[in-house]
């Protein structure tokens, strides 16, 4: 039998559910909407972000992901009252912000997340609308709960699969493009200095079968559970540190943990480092232009055996902050 190309190997990995089925991101710490719908509407402006990720660069058929998110609050008391108000000319992410912070007025949040993720011959394209409700539990602690739902199209490009038998009934004349429903949910507790979140993606398991004969092996989607937490520390009035972590559960794959450390200089510039268990270490940097634009870049150095064939992972994002009256180009809660 001829050797399978890498694309075919990825197909087998997907069918046997050996790893993560949802896209993987390094810069989710700057866009938590990617993993938790409860952050919809968390800022008092319209937050738009778009990103691109090229994973395991240099390896044919490696994952490539593009995404777009937009989220906005609904509620005049929150938008006009601004729970994150700081004195004019002061640092909107500094100590004075912490000392004057008060819990947000109850409000709604809405959002939209779209992504396209291609790994070998398999492409997933998803669109989800999200809703969250935020309320203050104490004078300086908020809680939000959110849900999102939509559809995911999973398609198989058979021209990128090389088999001994080109008419292999396991994939030929099968259903190579399928649309499945998707539901996600999450909660998020946050103050001026810390956050704790929990979420689940792919809450409704689905069965995928690229053959026209059910006797062949079927792929099953599984829930992805994320638990996140972070705490902000101040080194000075202008410099802050935020260590954070994410614990991820995707059965039957091993549980994994991400450890992150972000250092920000006012709201102008930040650098960060990340460690992803048994996978990679990453460096990140970003900056803002006024209160309207933000940019971020990350590079992952692969620590697994894939580092012999990969030159690493690159990820970029651009953020646009509409109607931002807080004079900050970065999200003050992350």
- For the segment 19-47, what is each residue's pLDDT rounded down to a tens digit? 578 999 999 999 999 999 999 999 889 99
Domains contained in the chain, CATH given: 18-32+56-322 (2.40.160)
Q: Which positions ≥6 away from 329 have C-beta within 8 Å?
A: 267, 268, 288, 289, 290, 291, 292, 293, 294, 319, 321
Name the pairing type of β-strands 177-190 and 46-54. Answer: unpaired
By CB atoms closer than 10 A (0-12, 13-18, 19+), residue 303 is middle
Among the residue ranges 164-168, 297-301, 314-318, the one predicted with the least confidence is 164-168
Instruction: Kindly tell me the sign of the dihedral angle through the C-alpha atoms of 129, 285, 82, 189.
Output: positive
pLDDT at residue 97, as a whole number: 66
Residue 138 has pLDDT above 70, yes or no: yes
Residue 211 has pLDDT above 70, yes or no: no
Written as six digits, the tokens of 57 are 């660069």
Question: How many percent of the chain have pLDDT more than 90?
Answer: 55
**What is the rounded distance in angstroms from the CA atom of residue 229 to the CA atom of residue 213?**
45
CA angle 58–59–65, rounded 5-degree value: 90
**What is the rounded distance in angstroms from the CA atom of residue 60 to the CA atom of residue 82?**
48
- For the segment 91-137, what is each residue's pLDDT rounded down to a tens digit? 666 666 676 778 888 999 999 999 999 998 889 999 999 999 999 99
The per-residue DSSP string of 252-321 comes to TSPPEEEEEEEEEETTTEEEEEEEETTTEEEEEEEEEETTTEEEEEEEEEE-SGGGGT---EEEEEEEEE
Residue 127 vs residues 77, 116, 150, 151, 318: alpha-carbon distances, Å = 30, 9, 6, 6, 19
Residue 141 vs residues 85, 89, 104, 138, 195: alpha-carbon distances, Å = 16, 25, 8, 5, 9
**What is the rounded distance in angstroms from the CA atom of residue 105 to the CA atom of residue 136?**
7
Written as six digits, the tokens of 33 are 């909407």
More confident call, 208 vs 320: 320
């Amino acid at each position: 039998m001829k050797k399978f190309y890498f694309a075919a190997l990825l197909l087998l990995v997907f069918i046997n559910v050996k790893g993560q089925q949802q896209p993987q991101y390094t810069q989710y710490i700057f866009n938590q909407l990617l993993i938790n719908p409860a952050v919809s509407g968390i800022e008092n402006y319209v937050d738009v972000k778009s990103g691109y990720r090229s994973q395991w660069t240099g390896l044919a058929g490696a994952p490539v992901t593009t995404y777009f998110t937009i989220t906005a609050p609904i509620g005049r008391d929150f938008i006009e009252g601004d729970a994150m108000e700081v004195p004019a000319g002061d640092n909107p992410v500094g100590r004075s912000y912490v000392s004057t912070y008060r819990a947000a007025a109850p409000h709604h949040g809405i959002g939209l997340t779209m992504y396209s993720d291609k790994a070998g011959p398999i492409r997933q394209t998803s669109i989800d609308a999200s809703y969250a409700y935020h309320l203050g539990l104490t004078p300086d602690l908020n809680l939000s709960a959110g849900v999102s739902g939509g559809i995911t199209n999973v398609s198989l490009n058979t021209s990128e699969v090389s088999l001994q038998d080109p008419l292999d009934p396991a994939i030929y004349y099968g259903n190579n493009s399928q649309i499945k429903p998707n539901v996600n949910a999450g909660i998020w507790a946050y103050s001026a200095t810390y956050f704790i979140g929990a979420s689940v993606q792919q809450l409704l398991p689905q069965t995928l079968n690229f053959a026209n004969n059910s006797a062949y092996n079927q792929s099953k989607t599984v829930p992805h559970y994320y638990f996140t937490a972070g705490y902000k520390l101040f080194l000075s009035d202008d410099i802050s540190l935020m260590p954070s972590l994410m614990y991820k559960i995707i059965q039957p794959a091993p549980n994994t943990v991400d450890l992150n450390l972000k250092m920000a200089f006012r709201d102008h510039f930040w650098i960060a480092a990340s460690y992803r268990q048994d996978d990679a270490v990453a460096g990140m940097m970003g900056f803002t232009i006024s209160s309207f634009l933000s940019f971020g870049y990350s590079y992952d150095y692969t620590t697994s055996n894939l580092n012999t064939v990969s030159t690493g992972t690159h990820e970029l994002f651009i953020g646009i902050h509409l109607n931002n009256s807080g004079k900050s180009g970065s999200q003050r809660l992350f």
